Amino acid sequence: MKYPILLPNIFDYPFTYQSSLKLKVGQYVNVPFGKKTITGVVWDQFEENDSKKFKIKSIIQKLNIEPLKKETIKFLNWFSEYNLVPLGMALKLHLLSGAAIEKQKKEEYQKYQIVTNKEKYKLSDEQDNNFRELIKIDNSFRVHLLQGTTGSGKTIVYFKAIEKIVNQGNQSLILLPEIGLTGEFEKKFKKFFGFEAAIWHSKITPKGKKVIWSGLATGEIKVVIGARSSLFLPFKKLGLIVVDEEHDQSFKQDEGVTYNARDMAIARANSENIPINLVTAVPSIETYANIKNKKYSYSRLINRYQNANLPKHHIIDLNQNKLVKKTFISFKTLEKVKDHLDNGDQVLFFVNRRGFAPCVLCKKCLNVFSCPNCSINLVYHKNKKKLLCHYCGYSSNLQRKCKKNDICDFVFSGPGVEKIAEEVKMLFPNQKTIIFSSDTMNKVSGKNNLDKIISGETNILVGTQLISKGFHFPNLNCIIVLDIDLTSHGHDLRSAEKNLQLYHQLSGRAGRTGKPANVYFQTFNLKPEIINQITSEDPFKFLDHELELRKKNNLPPYERLRMILFIFSEYGLPFNAFSCALLNLDAATIFIAFVIF
């Protein structure tokens, strides 16, 4: 009997194999392909008929694994078509290093088993009302936004919704935008549920991934907390998807197979006919437009936990307040920080730039060091003594030969977290300071640093936007924003929206235990309405205004922007053979077009 077998490769169709076995759609099998034996899946459609006659190879064996569900096959078919990805590459996202994993020993799943003797949580009236909105429609597709003020207890509300789903025998997926969030989030999950969730991201060991993959396929594991790739795991009975920080740009994958994990999560929920909850303090403009159009339902948490007050916002005018010599910190800022430290508060200096300096140039030849791949400035990381590209990962030593046949005399332009941390240590030599960025918090030492911050052992933090995402620091009551003038300018049509989301999240880190808290913006810009807009307690007002501007100027979400990129080598041969063959291109040129339609 003939079967269509989809293989995890760069083909957009299944291959035909034969077998005497009776196989179902979704069954995992091993088949010969060239000189190799690889894993494939019995698909729901045959390859297109060809007039040529070929010898059909036989399936080697059927694997003892639960078949891939028809709902997941439907999702992968849609994913391939929507994202212009070969169907085989969509399957590759699902398989684990090209393999399907058979059931592991029972004890491997023990720590993920549901327990009943867990801590009881009582919701406030407002939280309980939101919980009831989340579970209003059971076991059918619906997109619901849970919008809540930072520190209002959104996580506990959707934990209660997951608890209900798990108690019904179903599985749940929680998507997070950053690997750095999973450690702290994992502790919060275990405290609430009493058992461990499976954690899925690129840093998990191969053995750990095998246990999780097989545990989900067999139904032994009930909850996964994961990054983008967890969306393609083989859930046996998925009942709910939660996308936390749904506005976050990290859900967009720009390398390899490109897709937006938030949007694909909605598509998978639709394929599975299950509810999906989007959670955020400030929704993305696309989500807000869908709420206005009544495509999505929503509920809101207005009050912070235990009625703690939001921090007050202040502007420090740099036109009137001088900077301390050889620093980016003003004298007035220095006074405010000293007052807070004397009060026993933690202080955060916020500058959304990794490394020491975002621009390095030579005073002699005026050469600015840029990435040979991306043509953007290389960032100097003093701790590593390297120049790094934050886009492609290119790195270079600082030692360069000057174009004037001499040794370069470097100028480091602009502040990064390492530069600010150096200044802070100089100004506050007796205080313990930690850099909080993806360079420092994703390592083994990151957990120890986090424990020191939460316990109050660390007095001053110097951080990037990573610190704004879901962390609870009970002693943090003073935030100094150093780069508001830089982030409020630019040509990105989403810059205003991103700033609104960033500074709402950032402000929410302060004053979470009820103690008075303050956020200070150092700025040369004397237009306070910009800061007032992005720190307003009701972000929906800003989003209403932003939607009006987008509609007036025919911009997303009312129109779509598409980029068509044609790349060829100097010899006229395709830079990417598959892409160019797909687009049927044959001229030696580079062409970029943005099309509004």
Identify the pLDDT of residue 38.
97
Distances in whole angstroms, Cα of residue 528 to Cα of each of 20, 279, 314, 491: 75, 29, 9, 21
Cα gap 573→576, rounded to integer Å = 9
In sequence order, which residues have a C-beta less than 8 Å from that of residue 41 and are 6 or more positions away? 5, 6, 26, 27, 28, 29, 68, 73, 91, 100
Identify the pLDDT of residue 590.
36
Q: Are 497 and 283 in contact (CB under 8 A)?
A: no
Within its chain, how far is the Cα of 272 from the centroid?
Answer: 23
Cα gap 386→394, rounded to integer Å = 10
Cα gap 278→194, rounded to integer Å = 24
Identify the pLDDT of residue 596.
40
Q: Two tokens at 361?
A: 């140039």
Q: Are 308 and 511 in contact (CB under 8 A)?
A: yes
Cα gap 70→44, rounded to integer Å = 8
Fold (CATH) for 106-305: Rossmann fold (3.40.50)
Identify the pLDDT of residue 488.
63
| 3 state SS of 18 | strand
Q: Which residues of 113-139 are buried (b: 16+ CB within 10 A; e: fewer)?
A: eeeeeeeeeeebebbeebbebbeeeee
In sequence order, which residues have a C-beta less than 8 Å from that of residue 429 and are 6 or more positions away? none
Identify the pLDDT of residue 244.
95
Beta strands 386-388 and 259-260 are unpaired
Cα gap 372→501, rounded to integer Å = 33
Q: Do domains 106-305 and 308-353+415-547 have the same CATH topology?
A: yes
In the chain, the amino acid numbered 422 is: E
Nearest of 439, 424, 426 to residue 380 by alpha carbon: 439
Q: Give the 3-state secondary structure of 501-551.
A: HHHHHHHCCCCCCCCCCEEEEEECCCCHHHHHHHCCCCHHHHHHHHHHHHH
Beta strands 395-397 and 410-413 are unpaired
Beta strands 171-175 and 238-244 are parallel
Cα gap 544→336, rounded to integer Å = 35
Q: Two tokens at 272?
A: 């599975």
Q: Two tokens at 120?
A: 């009881």
| 3 state SS of 401 | strand
Cis-peptide into 4, omega within 30 deg: no
Beta strands 2-6 and 36-42 are antiparallel
Within its chain, how far is the Cα of 330 from the centroid?
Answer: 34
In the chain, the amino acid numbered 264 is: M
- State which CATH number among 3.40.50.300, 3.30.565.10, 3.30.70.100, 1.10.15.40 fits the domain covering 308-353+415-547: 3.40.50.300
Distances in whole angstroms, Cα of residue 233 to Cα of each of 172, 227, 465: 11, 11, 29
Distances in whole angstroms, Cα of residue 127 to Cα of each of 41, 382, 485: 44, 46, 37
Q: Two tokens at 328?
A: 């980016």
Provide the H-helix boundaries in 31-124.
70-82, 87-94
- Per-residue tens of pLDDT for the chain, all 597 residues: 999 999 999 999 999 999 999 999 999 999 999 999 999 999 998 877 665 677 899 999 999 999 999 999 999 999 999 999 999 999 999 999 999 999 999 999 999 998 876 778 889 999 999 999 998 877 799 999 999 998 899 999 999 999 999 999 999 999 999 876 677 788 889 999 999 899 999 889 999 999 999 999 999 999 999 999 999 999 999 999 999 999 999 999 988 899 999 999 999 999 999 999 999 999 999 999 999 999 999 999 998 877 788 899 999 999 999 999 989 999 999 999 999 999 999 999 999 999 999 988 888 788 888 898 888 889 999 988 899 998 888 998 887 777 667 778 888 888 999 999 999 999 999 999 999 998 887 766 777 888 889 899 999 999 998 888 878 899 999 999 998 877 766 567 788 888 888 888 898 889 888 889 999 999 887 666 667 777 777 889 889 989 999 999 999 898 887 766 655 444 444 444 344 434 443 333 333 443 443
CA-angle at 252, arms to 290 and 581, nearest 5°: 110
Q: Two tokens at 230?
A: 């967890």
Q: Two tokens at 172?
A: 């749940």
Residue spans of the domains in the chain: they are 2-68, 106-305, 308-353+415-547, 561-596
Distances in whole angstroms, Cα of residue 432 to Cα of each of 292, 336, 337, 416, 459: 47, 18, 14, 19, 5
